[in-house]
Structure 1
C-alpha cells in the first residue's frame, strides 16, 4: 500500500496508526462472495485482514477460492439433460432402449409403442411381442 518494501513492520504500524488507520486480523474459517450471476466464490480457511481508515472499512481476503455454481444453473443443466433424453412426447430414451432390448424392435417401433401406450413399459413390450 505504501511501498514500504524494506520498512520495519513496527514502524509501518506506527505510521498507519498516526494516519488513523487500524489493521486487525480476523480469524475466519470461510468467506463466501455471492456474485450477481448467482455463482459463489468460497474461500476455505482464508487469511482476512480488516483495515479501518477513518471510518472506511476495507477487507482483504487471501486464499484460493472455489467457484460454486448457483442452484438455478444446476437445475437448468439438469432440465437440459432431461430434455435431451426425452422426445417431445416425454418418452425417456432409457424406456425406449429397454423396450428395444426386451423385444428386439427398432427404436422407432419401440418409441411408437410407448407413445401408443402413454409410456406404459409393460403394455408397449407386450404390444411388440
Structure 2
C-alpha cells in the first residue's frame, strides 16, 4: 500500500494492464442465476464487470436480486446476461461457503497477483467490497 488514500483511476488501469489484467464493464440489463434448489436470482440493472487475468475470466455482479423466480420460469444457461458480450452468458453461481461472499477464485487471484497470503488477500477483498482489481492495487 503506497501513498495515502485513493489512486488515480488511470494509473490503476495502467498498473492492471501491466499485470495482464483487463477489466471491462458490461452493459447488462438483466442477470439470472439458476440455483440447484430452483430459486433463481434475478438481477435487473446490476453492474456487471468482466475481468480477464492471464486467460482466466471472472465476472462480478454488483447489486441486489430484485426477485426470486421459480424454476421453469426462464430456461436457458446457468446464467444469462442480456446486453453484454457472448462470454457473459457463461456466468455460473458458486457457493463455496466463503465469508462475506468472496469467491475463493478471487482470493487466489489477488494472492497470486499481489504476492501475499490468502488471508491477506481475503482481507483486502473485503476492504475493497469484493473488487479484485481494487484489492490488488491496494496491496501493491
- Give the TM-score of the pair, scaled to structure 2: 0.46
Larger relative helix fraction: 1
Q: Which has the higher contact order (CA 8 A, sep 6+)?
A: 2
Which one has the largest radius of gyration?
Answer: 1
